[in-house]
């Protein structure tokens, strides 16, 4: 994986719901990578708080570096990374617990209000917090951006149910991932295939290529209501070598019923 990637600024156009909330919104970014998804969302509104998880401590370090290098006001105070492989161990209980939610919301509000005073905080080290601390009572959004495809197919239903469990009623799951016949799928050698539309990358991670029916079955089967689901096909040209690139992604929005 490249150490530096461009911000995914298109996300705010594709998912404008992230900018439509008047009050503080909690976003759980699953598989934050190097922070290219979190940063444009944090820039978009100053009332968005992101909890970003990844199974790689190295990825979390890169994300933290990218967020801190942005030099944008309160961005760093609203980005809270933690290490978690949700498809195996599930999410920590404090994401959905509301036993001390009131105290946390007040502390978070005070923290953001006092950014100009540059007060020190240890909220960014959430991996060391006990289950009884920092309860937030569920999140308003879950983002799965080019992440679910790396989860083995047989573990995807469990992973999606985990996302469902931490969303507030009415909360949205925002999805984008590799679609069937994307150019990266066509580049895999036959011996790299390890399952139906599932391939093994050189770094040992998996890559699954979705069709809309599979995505629909996975999410509605876990209790979600489908709001949007479509293919996104893009043809562009590599400026370095002049070759055409045919990209196929699956875009979706799913809601947890009220």
Residue 121 forms part of a structural domain: yes
- 3-state SS class at 142: strand
Residue 200 forms part of a structural domain: no
**Cα angle for residues 221, 152, 18 (degrees, 5° grid):** 60
**Cα angle for residues 252, 255, 258 (degrees, 5° grid):** 170
**pLDDT band, residue 9 (cuts 50/70/90):** confident
Q: Is the pLDDT of residue 37 over 60?
A: yes
224 DSSP 8-state letter: P
Rounded to the nearest integer, the mean pLDDT of the chain is 86
Quick check: 178 and 248 in contact, CB under 8 A? Answer: yes
**Cα angle for residues 83, 87, 93 (degrees, 5° grid):** 60
**pLDDT band, residue 8 (cuts 50/70/90):** confident
- 3-state SS class at 45: coil
Query: Do β-strands 139-145 and 79-83 pair in parallel, antiparallel, or remain unpaired?
Result: unpaired
Residue 87 forms part of a structural domain: yes
**Domain of 77?**
11-175+208-224
Q: In the predicted model, what is the mean pLDDT of residues 201-229?
A: 97
Residue 97 forms part of a structural domain: yes
**Nearest CA-CA partner of 139 in 45, 222, 21:** 21
**CATH code at 160?**
3.40.50.150
Kindly state the helix (H) or strand (E) to which residue 167 belongs, with its residue range: strand 167-178
How many folded domains does the chain comprise?
1
Residue 18 forms part of a structural domain: yes
Least confident segment among 41-50, 120-129, 158-167, 223-232: 120-129
Residue 56 forms part of a structural domain: yes
Quick check: 179 and 209 in contact, CB under 8 A? Answer: yes
Q: Tokens in use for 236?
A: 């562009």
Tens digit of each residue's pLDDT (9 = 90 or more) over 93-139: 999 987 665 544 455 445 444 443 443 333 344 444 444 446 889 99
pLDDT of residue 6: 66
Q: Is the pLDDT of residue 221 over 60?
A: yes
Tens digit of each residue's pLDDT (9 = 90 or more) over 54-97: 999 999 999 999 998 887 767 888 999 999 999 999 999 999 98
Residue 77 forms part of a structural domain: yes
pLDDT of residue 21: 78
Residue 202 forms part of a structural domain: no
Percent helix, strand, coil in the chain (nearest 5)? Answer: 35, 30, 35
Query: Could you count the other beta carbons within 10 Å of the beta carbon of residue 211?
Result: 15
Q: Tokens in use for 100?
A: 């001390």
């Amino acid at each position: 994986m490249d150490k530096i990637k461009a911000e995914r600024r298109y996300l705010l156009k594709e998912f404008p719901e992230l900018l439509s909330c008047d009050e503080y919104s909690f976003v759980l970014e699953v598989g934050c990578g190097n922070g290219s998804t979190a940063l444009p969302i944090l820039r978009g509104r100053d009332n968005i708080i992101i909890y970003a998880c990844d199974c790689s401590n190295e990825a979390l370090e890169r994300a933290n570096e990218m967020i801190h290098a942005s030099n944008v006001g309160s961005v760093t105070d609203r980005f809270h990374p933690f290490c978690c492989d949700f498809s195996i161990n599930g999410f920590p209980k404090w994401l959905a617990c509301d036993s001390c939610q009131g105290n946390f919301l007040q502390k978070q509000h005070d923290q953001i209000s006092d950014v100009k005073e540059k007060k020190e905080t240890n909220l960014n080290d959430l991996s060391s917090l006990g289950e009884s601390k920092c309860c937030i009572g569920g999140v308003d959004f879950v983002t799965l951006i080019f992440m679910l495809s790396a989860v083995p197919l047989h573990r995807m239903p469990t992973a999606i149910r985990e996302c469902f469990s931490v969303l507030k009623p009415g909360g949205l799951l925002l999805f984008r991932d590799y679609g069937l016949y994307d150019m990266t799928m066509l580049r895999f050698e036959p011996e790299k295939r390890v399952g139906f539309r599932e391939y093994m990358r050189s770094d040992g991670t998996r890559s699954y290529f979705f069709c809309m029916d599979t995505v629909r079955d996975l999410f509605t089967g876990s209790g979600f209501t489908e709001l949007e689901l479509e293919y996104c096909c893009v043809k562009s040209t590599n400026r370095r070598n002049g070759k055409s690139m045919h990209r196929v992604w699956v875009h979706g929005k799913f809601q947890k019923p009220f």
